[in-house]
Amino acid sequence: MRKMMYIDGKWVSARSGETKEIINPYNQEVIAVVPRGDREDARDAIRAARKAFDEGEWRKVTAPERADMLFQVAEKIRKYKQELAELETLNTGKTLTESLADMDGIAAVFQYYAGLADKDGGMIIESPIPNSSSRMVREPVGVCGQITPWNYPLLQASWKLAPALAAGNTVVVKPSEITPLTTLRIAEIFEEVGFPPGVVNVVLGPGSTVGQEIAENHDVDLISFTGGGVAGRQIMQAAAGNFKKISLELGGKNPNIVFADADFDTAVDYALNAVFFHAGQVCSAGARLLVQSSIHDRFVEAVVEQAKHIRLGNGFDEKTQMGPVISAEHLASIEKYIQTGIQEGAKLVLGGKRPADPELQKGFFIEPTIFINCHTNMRIVQEESFGPVLTVETFDTEEEAVRLANDTIYGLAGAVWTQDMNRAERVSRQLRMGTVWINDYHPYFPQAPWGGYKQSGIGRELCHVGLEEYTEIKHVYMNLDPKPMGWFQ
Ligand X SMILES: NC(=O)c1ccc[n+]([C@@H]2O[C@H](COP(=O)([O-])OP(=O)(O)OC[C@H]3O[C@@H](n4cnc5c(N)ncnc54)[C@H](O)[C@@H]3O)[C@@H](O)[C@H]2O)c1
Interface with ligand BTL (CB under 6 A): 151-152, 155, 282-284, 444, 450
For ligand X, which is the closer residue by CB, 248 or 291? 248
DSSP designation for 434: S
**What distance lies between CA 422 and its chain's CA centroid?**
32
- 367 included as an active-site residue: no
Shortest Å, Cβ 151 to ligand BTL: 5
What DSSP element (H or E) covers 426? helix 421-430
Distance CA 145, CA 170 (A): 9
Residue 155 interacting entry, from ligand X, ligand BTL, none, C-beta within 5 to 8 Å by type: ligand BTL
Residue 251 interacting entry, from ligand BTL, ligand X, none, C-beta within 5 to 8 Å by type: ligand X
Output the residue with the shortest Cβ distance to ligand BTL.
283
How big is the chain, counted in residues? 489
Contacts with 292 (C-beta within 8 Å, 6 or more apart), sequence order: 258, 259, 260, 394, 395, 396, 401
Residue 384 interacting entry, from ligand X, ligand BTL, none, C-beta within 5 to 8 Å by type: ligand X
Shortest Å, Cβ 450 to ligand BTL: 6
For ligand BTL, which is the closer residue by CB, 395 or 441? 441
Binding site for ligand X (CB under 6 A): 147-152, 156, 174, 176-177, 206-208, 211-212, 215, 226-228, 231, 234-235, 249-252, 283, 384, 386, 412, 452, 457
Distance CA 98, CA 315 (A): 9
Distance CA 305, CA 325 (A): 22
Other CB atoms closer than 10 Å to residue 393's CB: what's the count?
Answer: 26
Other CB atoms closer than 10 Å to residue 211's CB: what's the count?
Answer: 26
Residue type, 347: K
288 in Cβ contact with 254 (< 8 Å):
yes
In angstroms, what is the C-alpha Rg of the chain?
24
For ligand X, which is the closer residue by CB, 231 or 380? 231
Strand ranges inside 67-169, DSSP E: 123-125, 132-140, 143-147
Shortest Å, Cβ 284 to ligand BTL: 5
Q: Which of 98, 249, 384, 398 is catalytic?
A: 249
Residue 176 interacting entry, from ligand X, ligand BTL, none, C-beta within 5 to 8 Å by type: ligand X
122 in Cβ contact with 135 (< 8 Å):
yes
Shortest Å, Cβ 305 to ligand BTL: 27
Cα–Cα separations (whole angstroms), residue 122 to 61, 111, 118, 469, 473: 18, 22, 11, 15, 9
Catalytic amino acids?
249
